[in-house]
C-alpha cells in the first residue's frame, strides 16, 4: 500500500477511535466520579457510613472489573441495543466502553480520595462544614492531581478497549489493524497503526502527567 492509499483509511479510523474514546471518557467521568465518591463516603469511617451500601457498590464494581472487556462487550449487547438502538458502529461501542471503564475509574477515584488526609476532613468538620461541602470543597479539590492521573490511566485503557471494539464492527484503528493488517497482510499499514497508537498514548500520558503536576501543590 502506498501513503496515498493509507491516508484516507488512517484519517477516518483515527477520528473514529478519538470519538469512541472521547465520548466514553466523558461518560466514564460523569458516572465513575460519583461512584468513586460513594465508595469512600459510604464506607465504614466515611463521611456517611452505610457499610451495606458500600459493600453492594463494591461488589458491582468488582463484577465489572472481573469481566474481560471482550466478554463484557458481547454480554451487554442487548443493553447496548436498548440504549443506542444498534450494536454496530462507533456510537454503539461507547456503551460497552463506558460500562467497562466506569468500575475501573471508580476504583482509581476511590484510591485518590483516600489519599486525602483525615486531618483536613476533620478540620473541615470542626469548622461546621456539611458533608456535601466537604466532598465539593475538600475531598475533590485535594484529590484533583490524583483524579487527573486516574483519568489519564483510564483514557489509555479505553484506547486499548476501543481496539477490541474494532473486531465487532466498532470501527477505529483496531478495526483497521484487523481488516488490513491481519486479514490482508498489509504489514506497512500495521506498522503505521502501531506507531500512531504509540504516539497517541504517549502524548495523552504526558499531557495527563503535566496537568497533574501543575495542579499539585505538595
Residues within window 100-159 making contact with other proteins, judged by CB under 8 A: 117, 119-120, 122-130, 133, 137-138, 141-142, 144
Per CB under 8 A, does 4 bind other proteins? no
Residue 71, SS3? Answer: helix
Q: Which lies closer to other proteins via its Cβ, residue 26 or residue 127?
A: 127
Residues across the chain: 218
Listed in sequence order, the DSSP H helices in 67-171 are 69-75, 77-84, 90-114, 118-126, 131-134, 140-167
Per CB under 8 A, does 202 bind other proteins? no
Ramachandran assignment for 129, one of left (phi > 0), alpha (psi -120 to 50 degrees), beta (any other) = beta
Under DSSP, the state recorded for 89 is S
> Least Å distance between CB 211 and other proteins?
14
Q: Which of 21, 22, 30 is nearest to 102 (CA)?
A: 30
Quote the cell numbers at residue 113: 480520595
Q: Which lies closer to other proteins via its Cβ, residue 45 or residue 78?
A: 45
Q: How many residues bind other proteins (CB under 8 A)?
A: 22
Per CB under 8 A, does 50 bind other proteins? no
Q: Which lies closer to other proteins via its Cβ, residue 40 or residue 72?
A: 40
Chain positions contacting other proteins, by CB under 8 A = 117, 119-120, 122-130, 133, 137-138, 141-142, 144, 215-218
Amino acid at each position: 500500500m502506498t501513503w496515498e492509499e493509507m491516508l484516507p483509511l488512517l484519517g477516518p479510523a483515527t477520528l473514529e477511535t478519538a470519538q469512541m474514546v472521547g465520548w466514553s471518557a466523558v461518560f466514564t467521568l460523569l458516572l465513575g466520579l460519583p461512584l468513586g465518591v460513594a465508595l469512600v463516603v459510604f464506607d465504614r469511617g466515611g463521611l456517611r457510613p452505610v457499610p451495606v451500601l458500600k459493600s453492594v457498590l463494591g461488589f458491582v464494581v468488582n463484577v465489572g472489573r472481573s469481566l474481560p472487556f471482550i466478554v463484557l462487550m458481547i454480554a451487554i449487547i442487548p443493553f447496548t441495543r436498548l440504549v443506542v438502538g444498534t450494536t454496530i458502529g462507533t456510537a454503539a461501542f461507547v456503551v460497552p466502553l463506558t460500562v467497562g471503564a466506569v468500575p475501573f475509574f471508580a476504583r482509581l477515584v476511590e484510591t485518590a480520595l483516600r489519599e486525602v488526609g483525615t486531618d483536613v476532613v476533620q478540620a473541615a468538620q470542626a469548622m461546621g462544614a456539611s458533608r456535601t461541602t466537604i466532598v465539593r470543597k475538600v475531598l475533590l479539590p485535594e484529590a484533583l492531581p490524583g483524579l487527573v492521573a486516574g483519568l489519564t490511566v483510564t483514557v489509555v485503557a479505553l484506547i486499548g478497549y476501543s481496539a477490541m471494539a474494532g473486531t465487532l464492527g466498532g470501527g477505529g484503528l483496531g478495526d483497521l489493524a484487523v481488516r488490513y493488517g491481519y486479514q490482508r497482510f498489509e504489514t506497512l499499514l500495521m506498522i503505521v497503526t502501531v506507531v500512531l497508537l504509540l504516539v497517541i498514548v504517549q502524548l495523552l500520558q504526558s499531557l495527563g502527567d503535566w496537568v497533574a503536576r501543575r495542579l499539585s501543590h505538595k
